[in-house]
Amino acid sequence: MAEQKAPAKGNAGDNIEQFGYKQELRRGMGLWDVVMYGVLFMVIIAPQSIFGSIQQNSHGMTPLVYIIGFVAIMFTAMSYMRMSGRFPIAGSVYSYVQRGINPHVGFIAGWLILLDYILVPSLLIVMVMNWGTALIPNSPAWLWAVVFIAFNTFVNIRGIQMSRGVDWVIFVIEV
């Protein structure tokens, strides 16, 4: 496979033609919107559900556990930053691994990230079902799942601007 040249400095959208793509989507999210999306994807209230076990297993050193996790995630974030500058195309993990390492490894990485994109929302649906039935006892768990999925579907169909606004509202509620 021929080695890819690093794109010239400038707007990332101007450089995708070298990869055989044409910029057709309107970029509607800024840096802080993307950061917010990442924070919400990690579910910032999730630590409350595992805090006790982390506290016990780390022998009271929970802050250190989170600091180590933060450092590891920073390396991931810096890698994404560098790779998105070098390969300014859609596809994320698949594109970066496919072009940076090997197309076959990229194929596997793409399927693994797709699995992550399926499992994380599924876990979130289970959390919403548990939360909903605890909030309103004797309410059917399936109803909470249907409402949650319907709401998410509605927001996604409405577009990125609505998704961006809902992300900020959810962040404020979680904080």
pLDDT tens, 130-146?
989 999 999 999 999 99
Q: What is the pLDDT of residue 143?
A: 95
Mean pLDDT, range 85-106, rounded to an integer: 82
Give the whole-angstrom CA distance, residue 109 versus residue 111.
5
* 150-153, Cβ contacts within 8 angstroms, sequence gap of 24 or more: 152/121
Residues 6+ apart with CB under 8 A from 85: 7, 12
Give the pLDDT confidence of 45-67 residue by residue, as tens digits. 666 667 788 888 889 898 888 88
Say yes or no to pLDDT of 150 above 90. Answer: yes
56: its two tokens:
């016990």
Q: What integer pLDDT is reported at residue 167 of this predicted model?
A: 83
The ranges assigned to domains in the chain are 112-175
Mean pLDDT in residue range 160-166: 83
Digit-coded pLDDT (tens) for 77-90: 888 788 877 777 76
